[in-house]
Amino acid sequence: MSTHSLIWQEGPQVWAFDPELMSEALLRLLAKHLMPLLLQLDAQLDKRLVRTFARLVQTIITFRDRVNALLLTELGEHLGSAQQTPAAVKRISHLLRSPKWSSSLIREYLLQRAHERLEQWEAQQLIALLVWDSSQQEKAESIHNEEYCAVRSTKAARLKRIKKGFYTPPSGPVFVPGLHWEGVLLVGLSTRQDPPQVAAMRWWTSRGVHASFQRDEQGKLLVELKERFGRRVIHIFDSGFAGSFWLGVLLGLELRFIMRWKSSYKLLDEQGCLRKTWEIARGKPSWEKMAIWDARKQCLVPGGIVAFPVRHPDHPEHPFWLVVCRSQDREPWYLLTAELASTPTQAWPTYWAYARRWQVEEEIKDQKSELGFESPRVQAWETREKLLLIATLAYDFLLSLLHPWLEPLRTWCIETFCPRTGRHLRLVKHPFVRLRKAVRALWQAYPPQALLPREPLWPGASSSRKKKHPSKATSTCVQA
Amino acid at 241: F
pLDDT tens by residue, 228-250: 999 999 999 998 899 999 999 99
**pLDDT given at position 145:** 75
Nearest to 135 by CA among 112, 161, 153: 153
Q: Which long-range contacts (CB under 8 A, 24 or more apart) does 277-282 make?
A: 277/322, 277/334, 278/332, 278/334, 280/308, 280/310, 280/322, 281/306, 281/308, 281/322, 281/324, 281/332, 281/334
Backbone angles phi, psi at 315, to 5 degrees: -135, 60
CA-CA distance, 476 to 54, in Å (whole number)? Answer: 9
Q: Are 47 and 462 in contact (CB under 8 A)?
A: yes
Span of 178-182, 350-354, 460-464 with lowest mean pLDDT? 460-464
CA-CA distance, 101 to 41, in Å (whole number)? Answer: 8
- Domain ranges, ordered by start, for the chain: 2-101+401-472, 103-238+357-380
Highest mean pLDDT among 141-145, 378-382, 461-465: 378-382
Percentage of the residues of the chain whose pLDDT score is greater than 70: 86
DSSP string, 109-140: HHHHHHHHHHHHHHHTT--EEEEEEEEEEE-T
Q: How far is CA 115 from CA 9, 201, 356, 373, in A?
A: 41, 15, 19, 25
pLDDT tens by residue, 14-48: 667 788 888 999 999 999 999 999 999 999 998 88
Q: Are 181 and 166 in contact (CB under 8 A)?
A: no
pTM value is 0.85
pLDDT tens by residue, 356-389: 888 777 778 777 777 878 777 788 889 999 999 9
Nearest to 130 by CA among 73, 196, 175, 64: 196
pLDDT tens by residue, 387-435: 999 999 999 999 899 888 888 888 888 888 888 776 666 666 657 888 8
H-helix segments, 356-476: 358-370, 381-400, 407-417, 423-427, 432-445
**Greater confidence, 332 or 328?**
332
**Span between the terminal Cα atoms of the chain, in Å:** 17
